[in-house]
Amino acid sequence: MRGQMVTEYKARKFPEHFLWGASSSAFQIEGAAAEDGKGRSVADVNAAKRAQLQADTRVASDFYHRFQEDIELFARLGLKAYRFSLSWARIIPDGDGPVNEAGLEFYDQVIDRLRYHGIEPLVTLYHFDLPYRLVEQYNGWESRECVHAFERYARICFSRYGNRVKYWQVHNEQNLMIRVDERMNIRAEDPWEADRQRAQMDYHMFLAHALAVRACRELAPGAFVGPAISSTCTYPVTPNPRDVWAARSNDRFKTEYALEMYTAGRYPGYYQRYLKERNIMPETRPEDEALLAGARIDYLGVNYYRTLCASYLPSDPSHPAGLRQFRGNEVDFDQFGYFRDEKNPFLEASEYGAQIDPMGLRLVLNEYYRKYRLPMIITENGLGAADVLSADGGVHDPYRIAYLKSHIEACADAIADGVELFGYCPWSVMDLLSSHQGFKKRYGLIYVNRDDRDLRDLRRIPKDSYYWYQDVIRHNGL
C-alpha cells in the first residue's frame, strides 16, 4: 500500500491542464522583413550591421511564408500553447502612424490557425524590436512620446485579437534588454550618460507596461496579462558575507528591482539609492505613481537558462559605487560597490558558455512564488548548440533532451514544493535567428535547413528532441 501511494504521488507532478508549449519571437523567426508594408525595427537595423558575418532578419526561418506548414508541425508535436511575439513595425510601420492592415491580417491568420488546432496563443507585444522610426524621432524609449505610441499599439492589438487571445505578455525581458546598449539604441560614449539614458528608458518602459495592462483590462476583459522576465539566480563565490551580499545584489539589480515595479508599482529602496548615488534618477510625473501602483498583473512569465556566481567588487575613487564594468558581456556586467561576475566551478557549461543548472530553476520558481504569490509559466528555457543534419537525414540532439529533461524535472519539483506553475514553453519551437550567432547556434525542436550564407531549401526536420518532447506532452510530463 505504501509503495502504491508513493507511485500515485509521483504520477501527479503536473496539473491536468498544464500548458505544454514552445516559444519564438517575430524578428527571429518571421523573415519578410520588408514585405507587405512592414517597417524597419531596431532588431532589423542591428542584424543588418552583422549581415556580412551571419544571417539577418530578411528571411530568418521564413515563418511568414510557411506558418501554415509550421503550425501543422506544432500540432503534431502536441503543443497546448505557442508563445510568440507580434512585430510592432509590421502592424504600425513607423511605430505611431498609419496602421498596416496586411500586418494585422497576418496575425489574424496565425492566431486562427493555432486555435483551429487547439493551440492556445500566448502573445507577446514587444520582444526587442522597437520600430526604428521611433528611434529617429525620439531616441526611442528615452522619450515619453514612445510610451504613448506603445499604448496606442497595445490598444490596437487588444481590440483586434482580444476575443481570441487569453494570455498576453507586454514586454519580453525588459530587465535584460535594458542592459544591452544596442537593443536600446544607446550610443553614448560617456558611461554616466549611457546610464542616465538607460534609467529613463527603463522607467518609460515600466510606464508603457502599466498603460498596456490597463488597456488589456478595458479591451480584453477576462484575459490574463503580465511580463516575461529574464530570471537570475546568483550564488556567492565564497561564504564570505560580502560575497553573499554581492550575490543577492546581482539578483536585485538585474531582475528583482523590475519584479518589484511590476508587482508593487515602485522601485525598491536599494534601487532608488543606486539611482540617487549615480545621479540618474529618471524624470517622473505626479500621476505616474497611481498608474504604476494600479497596474496589477495576473502572472509572471519566467525565462530561465542558467545561474550566475558573484564576488564582492569594492568601489574606489576611480570607480564610484554603481559604475558598470564589462569584462565579458553587457548582460553579465560587474558593478563597483556591489558585485563581480564569477565562474561557478561546480557546474558544466554549454559549448557557448552558459552554465547548466536545473536546480537553479527550482530555486528561482520557489523564490518568486514566495515573494510575489503569482502563478507562473516558463516562457523560455533551452540549450543552444551547433546542431548538424546527419547522413541518415535526422538531427540527433541528446544533449538538448538531457537539458530539457532535467529542467522539466526541476519544474515538477517546484510544483511539489507548492509553486503554482501552469505551463512550460521551451526556447525555441524551431531553429531561428540567434542575435549574435545567426544559425550557428540552434535552440529549436525543429531543424531549419539553412545556414548563415545558404538558404538551401529551408526544409523543416523534426529533431530527436521533438519526438522526445512529443512523448512528454502526450503523457503530461511523466
Per-residue pLDDT, 352: 83
Residues 106 and 30: beta-carbon distance below 8 Å: no
Per-residue pLDDT, 436: 81
CB atoms < 10 A from the CB of 453, how many?
10
Residues 46 and 55: beta-carbon distance below 8 Å: no
Q: Does domain 19-256+296-475 have CATH number 1.10.1370.30?
A: no
Per-residue pLDDT, 1: 35
Tell how far CA 72 is from the center of its chain: 24
Per-residue pLDDT, 246: 98
Per-residue pLDDT, 478: 82
Picking from 257, 103, 282, the residue whose alpha carbon sits closest to that of residue 204 is 282
Written as nine digits, the cell of 374 is 503569482
Residues 257 and 271: beta-carbon distance below 8 Å: yes
Picking from 349, 372, 356, the residue whose alpha carbon sits closest to that of residue 410 is 356
Strand pairing category for 234-236 and 308-311 = parallel
Residue positions annotated with a catalytic role: 380
Per-residue pLDDT, 11: 47
Ranges of residues in the chain with a pLDDT under 50 are 1-12
Residues 6+ apart with CB under 8 A from 28: 57, 60, 61, 428, 432, 433, 434, 435
The pLDDT tens digits for 254-313 are 999 999 999 999 999 999 999 999 999 999 999 999 999 999 999 999 999 999 999 999
Per-residue pLDDT, 5: 37
